[in-house]
Amino acid sequence: MPPPQSNWQGLPPPRRPSRGPVIAIVLVAVVLVGVAAIGLSRLGHSRPAADAGGAPSATFTYDEPTTTPSPTRTTHRTTTPPPTTTSRRTSTTSAPPTSTQPAGPQPVLKLGDNPLFEVGGLPATTCKLARWSTDPAGAERFFRSALPCLDAAWAPVMKAANLPFFTPKLAFPPGTSFNTPCGNQTIGHIVAFYCGNDNTLYVPFAGLQTEMYGAHPGVYLALFAHEYGHHVQAMAGIMQAYGGARYAKDNGDSANDAGWELSRRLELQAQCFSGMFLAATSGRGDVDGNITHEAQTSQDRGDHNGPPRDHGTDDHAMGWWNSGFQRNSLSQCDTWLASSADVA
């Protein structure tokens, strides 16, 4: 199921800043921290696609929580009452153990065969967006106005797949360095990211490079939809399944090629989900042709600046986004079943 080839051409953006390690293994717990920056591509003049430098890659921050993220944290408890005795008998009897589990849909810890991919696509969704303003307060208003639209698009899909759904939290930390449950973050290493420990999308204004990209809300909307895509992966159980698979592939070496391929599958799927969201909202409400064009022409977010190879080539970053945009089909976003060549 290779993604369609992208025919978009654009000018290269600035070189992506270097990033620290994206995977840490602590004791026997898998701690996955994909600290990466979503970069945004310039709009304007064109040159051959093969020569395009592309935008910096988009990633997520995820520390696998000890409890599966869901509207109500999943817990498994088995209780056994202490033995009871009577004055008439010398024998001791024990009540049978009982177990409890929260009601409602639960995440399914599977990758390619996750039930999410058995649903069709996102329904047509109308967004009411705040006007983009290139300042911290204006950017926050824009992203907060986009969140209900993303919820409206994804909630029925999760319900149809019998998977949990809940709205992620948002955080807009000021400054260039801040602490999160996924560790300390520094601008230059991240732009926007999703932390699975608190199910929060972090969007620091200082990392958006608004002085360079200015008033192009479609660029920021696609960025936001990519990070929300990681929230979808967490709700579905894909993120947790990825964590287990990554730990097994790494085998003590977080920099091996097999592990990076899994990371690329995760990131390219978020790209595809972002494209699906734009397909579902394009031409409706406030997502007009300009916003759609800005989103579509800012997807060269591959590993064009060298290792780590955690996002795929620019062509694949654009191709998977366009696969989501053109097809709006979850089965066509199943990067876990794609060949290695299609997620290179």
Res 226: pLDDT: 97
Structure tokens at 15: 């070189």
pLDDT category at 310 given cuts 50, 70, 90 is confident
Query: Quick check: 102 pLDDT over 60?
Result: yes
Res 254: pLDDT: 64
Three-class DSSP category at 301: coil
Query: Quick check: 287 pLDDT over 70?
Result: yes
Q: How many CA atoms lie within 13 A of 11 on its CB side?
A: 7
Cα–Cα distance, 60 to 36 (Å, whole number) = 6
pTM for the model: 0.74
**DSSP percent split of the chain into helix, strand, coil, nearest 5:** 40, 10, 50
Single-letter code of the amino acid located at 213: Y
Query: Quick check: 295 pLDDT over 60?
Result: yes
- What confidence tens digit (pLDDT) does each residue in 220-279 have? 999 999 999 999 999 999 999 999 999 998 876 767 889 999 999 999 999 999 999 999
Q: Which of 339, 282, 267, 327 is nearest to 120 (CA)?
A: 327
Query: Quick check: 28 pLDDT over 90?
Result: no
Strand partners, 190: 187
Helix 289-296, helix 217-236: angle, nearest 10: 70
In what order do the strands lie in the sheet containing 193-195? Answer: 169-171, 200-202, 193-195
Cα–Cα distance, 18 to 189 (Å, whole number) = 7
Res 309: pLDDT: 84
- What confidence tens digit (pLDDT) does each residue in 158-173 have? 999 999 999 999 999 9
Cα–Cα distance, 59 to 80 (Å, whole number) = 44
For the chain, what percent of residues have pLDDT higher than 90? 57
Three-class DSSP category at 295: helix
Cα–Cα distance, 76 to 25 (Å, whole number) = 25
Structure tokens at 20: 């620290």
pLDDT category at 83 given cuts 50, 70, 90 is very low
Q: Cis ω on the peptide bond leading into residue 204 (within 30° of 0)?
A: no
What is the mean pLDDT of the segment spanning 301-323? 86
Query: Quick check: 292 pLDDT over 50?
Result: yes
Query: Quick check: 80 pLDDT over 70?
Result: no
Cα–Cα distance, 202 to 37 (Å, whole number) = 11
Query: Quick check: 131 pLDDT over 90?
Result: yes
Q: Secondary structure of 47-63 in the HEC alphabet?
A: CCHHHCCCCCCCCCCCC
Res 252: pLDDT: 64
Task: Show me where the domains of the chain are located.
Answer: 23-72+104-343
Res 73: pLDDT: 34
Res 307: pLDDT: 76
Res 100: pLDDT: 62
